Structure 1
Amino acid sequence: MKAIHNEERLARYAAENQLNAIFDAATIGMMNIVAYENGEAICSPGDQLDHLFLLVKGKIKVYTTLPNGKSVLLRFNEPLAIIGDMELMTGFPVRCMVESVGETHFIAIKKEALRETAFQDPRFLTFIIKQISNKLHTVSYVSSLNLLYPVENRLASYLISIMSEDPLSPSLVEMRTDLLTDVAELLGTSYRHLNRVITQLAAAGIIERKRGAIFIRNETRLKELASGNLYR
């Protein structure tokens, strides 16, 4: 993590995400920008967060680790996602792992600052309620996806979820062998079975596996396989 001291960028992020509709001027004045690199952990299970984080650039991956040591993918989030809302309202430690997918920027606000200002503001409280409600809906939805859909559908959903939405960005996903093992675990399958599914999708011309990466060759077919069921 690194801090970015840039008042102009902070003002731009606040305007782009209409933060003045959520926070008062005093709270906005206490915000800072922090940046994370690809794969860097924003928070881990057991952490006690002292900030609320608002994602304003990039994408994050959220997953949980079960008592048996296996991990389960919960969702990907894009702006304006929030980290620390559950912990802010309950005082509980972090329960999920949150990682940066590519470079991410967050607006960070100290909890003490929120308690002094935003906790009395209905706009902020409404925003928090909507965020928590959305997370509960997503967890229920993704649980069904992980339990009831075949691996090829889950893989398609995963690939669509992590693809860049920049039309100028190449449609590829890094997929080294060690990363593939992690993906298999997140999707609730074995490395061998996931490898078979990737081979099948490549044979169908939907993806191409080359030099440790997966290239999306037929995004339309991939979305059809995902059937609108994304980890978001």
Structure 2
Amino acid sequence: MKTKYDQNQIQDYIATYQLDQIFSQASAIPIQLRTYERNEIVLKEGDELDGIYFQVEGRTKVSSSIETGKALLLRFCHPLSVFGDVELIQKVVIQSQVEATEPTTFLFINKRTVETELMLDRNFLYELLKYLSYKLQTCTTASRINLLASVEERFASYLLTTRLQNEFGKEILTPHVPEIASLIGTTPRHLNRVIQKFITMNVLNKEKKKISILDWDRLDEISNGLRYE
């Protein structure tokens, strides 16, 4: 991790993402730039949170694990994303691991400033509520589909959701079968069987690990109207 206090760059990011609407007095808040390289851990599950992170550049991977060592991929995040909101409100340790998948930059505000100043700011709390409610909505929807739908329905829903390019569709978009399998709650082996089934049905084609859709209408029928959104 590299840190710096480049006020010009910080103000550029604040203007780009209209963060001045979140902080009533942005110029008075000690904001730090933190940059992480590819594969570097930003937040480690189980650690104490040191502050709130606003992702302004790059791409991150968010996952959650259990004591056996198995990890569940939750989403990929792009600017503007916020980390630390759940932990700050609930006063708990870091709940999910965040890893940079490419060089990624954050605006960082230390925990003390957040608790003593920003938590008293109505604009900040309102924005925090928006991010929290979005995470709750998308996690609830994904959990419901993954628990109640067949793998065929889940995969069809995944393909249709990522095609729509809504916000959560962008966050779960990946070309890698093992990552897709984790996102929809199955194993790569089972997902490969479903892919082969869809190929025989002339629903999709796969060449050199690249999947192309041949029949979106049939895929919609298989999904039974389910979407990860």
Shorter-chain TM-score range: 0.7 to 0.9
Assess if the C-alpha contact under 8 Å between 2:73 and 2:179 holds in 1.
Answer: no
Matching residue of 1:196: 193
Which one-letter code corresponds to 1:88 in the other structure? L
Instruction: State how 1:1-232 maps to structure 2 within 5 Å.
Output: 1-3=1-3, 6-26=6-26, 29-155=29-155, 157=158, 175=176, 180-181=177-178, 183-200=180-197, 204=202, 206=204, 208-210=206-208, 214-218=209-213, 221=216, 224=220, 229-230=227-228
Flag structure 1 segments of 5+ consecutive residues without an equivalent.
166-171
Percent identical residues: 32
**Distance of aligned partners of 1:209 and 1:53 in 2 relative to their CA distance in 1, 3 Å threshold:** farther
**Distance of aligned partners of 1:30 and 1:82 in 2 relative to their CA distance in 1, 3 Å threshold:** same
Assess if the C-alpha contact under 8 Å between 2:154 and 2:184 holds in 1.
Answer: yes
> Residues of 1 paired with 2:48 and 2:108: CA distance?
15
**Distance of aligned partners of 1:228 and 1:188 in 2 relative to their CA distance in 1, 3 Å threshold:** closer
Which one-letter code corresponds to 2:142 in the other structure? V
What CA deviation, in whole Å up to 9, does each residue of 1:162-215 have, x standing for no partner? 9x99xxxxxx9553xxxx5565345322332122234445664745342xxx43
**Structure 1, 118-127 or 99-108: larger mean CA deviation:** 99-108
> Residues of 2 paired with 1:174 and 1:33: CA distance?
30
Give the deviation of 1:127 after TM superposition. Answer: 1.5
TM-score under structure 1 length normalisation = 0.73
Assess if the C-alpha contact under 8 Å between 1:53 and 1:107 holds in 2.
Answer: yes
| SS of residue in 2 equivalent to 1:125 | helix
| SS of residue in 2 equivalent to 1:32 | strand
What CA deviation, in whole Å up to 9, does each residue of 1:20-65 have, x standing for no partner? 1111335664112222334432212211111200122233332322
> Residues of 2 paired with 1:149 and 1:96: CA distance?
25
Which one-letter code corresponds to 2:188 in the other structure? Y
**Distance of aligned partners of 1:138 and 1:8 in 2 relative to their CA distance in 1, 3 Å threshold:** same
Assess if the C-alpha contact under 8 Å between 2:41 and 2:98 holds in 1.
Answer: yes
Matching residue of 1:168: none
Matching residue of 2:170: none
**Structure 1, 132-141 or 36-45: larger mean CA deviation:** 36-45
**Distance of aligned partners of 1:107 and 1:146 in 2 relative to their CA distance in 1, 3 Å threshold:** same
- Report how many aligned residue pairs link the two structures: 218
TM-score under structure 2 length normalisation = 0.74
> Residues of 1 paired with 2:199 and 2:58: CA distance?
28
> Residues of 2 paired with 1:219 and 1:23: CA distance?
48
What CA deviation, in whole Å up to 9, does each residue of 1:73-116 have, x standing for no partner? 33333332210012122321012222334333211111112233
Which one-letter code corresponds to 1:92 in the other structure? V
**Structure 1, 217-226 or 115-124: larger mean CA deviation:** 217-226
Assess if the C-alpha contact under 8 Å between 1:76 and 1:161 holds in 2.
Answer: no
> Residues of 1 paired with 2:210 and 2:124: CA distance?
41
Flag structure 2 segments of 5+ consecutive residues without an equivalent.
167-172
**Distance of aligned partners of 1:220 and 1:120 in 2 relative to their CA distance in 1, 3 Å threshold:** farther
Give the deviation of 1:121 after TM superposition. Answer: 1.1
Assess if the C-alpha contact under 8 Å between 2:61 and 2:101 holds in 1.
Answer: yes
